[in-house]
Amino acid sequence: MKTKWIARSLRAGMLAGALAAGGAWAAEHEVRIVQYAYTPAELTIKAGDTVTWINDEKRVSHSVLFRGSGEESERFFPGERWSRKFEQPGSYEYTCGPHPEMKGLIVVEP
Ligand SMILES: [Cu+2]
């Protein structure tokens, strides 16, 4: 009967995983912006997670501009932040509106 119990526990675990993907246990991630660079430049997350970009510069404002969709955040100034939740799996390449040399990538796993 022990194997049956394990099988049931595994199924319960999978259910918990599904709930996490649905947002119940979604994680939060941070990308810091310092010296015209996103750190980390590449970040892998799970669907339903939220990423917050934090401007740690002294003077410069930045944005987050997704290459695929053209969606762009507001410009955010030193000390400010901007968050986005990622529901759809995929690769999200982004840059900074005013500074196209800045590059970042968010990989969203199912
Ligand atoms: Cu910028």
pLDDT bracket for residue 25 (50, 70, 90): confident
| Model pLDDT, residue 23 | 47
Question: Residue 37 Cα, ligand 1 centroid: separation in angstroms?
Answer: 8
pTM of the entire predicted model: 0.78
Question: Residue 103 Cα, ligand 1 centroid: separation in angstroms?
Answer: 10
Dump pLDDT digits (tens) for 42-100.
999 999 999 999 999 999 999 999 999 999 999 999 999 999 999 999 999 999 999 99
Burial readout 65-78 (b: 16 or more C-beta within 10 A, e: otherwise): bbeeeeeebebbee
Dump pLDDT digits (tens) for 72-86.
999 999 999 999 999
Give CATH superfamily name and number for 26-109: Cupredoxins -  blue copper proteins (2.60.40.420)
The Cβ-side half-sphere exposure at 79, using a 13 Å CA radius, reads: 2
Question: Residue 99 Cα, ligand 1 centroid: separation in angstroms?
Answer: 4
Question: What are the residue boundaries of the structural domains of the chain, listed by start?
Answer: 26-109
Question: Residue 96 Cα, ligand 1 centroid: separation in angstroms?
Answer: 5
The full length of the chain comes to 110
Question: Residue 106 Cα, ligand 1 centroid: separation in angstroms?
Answer: 17
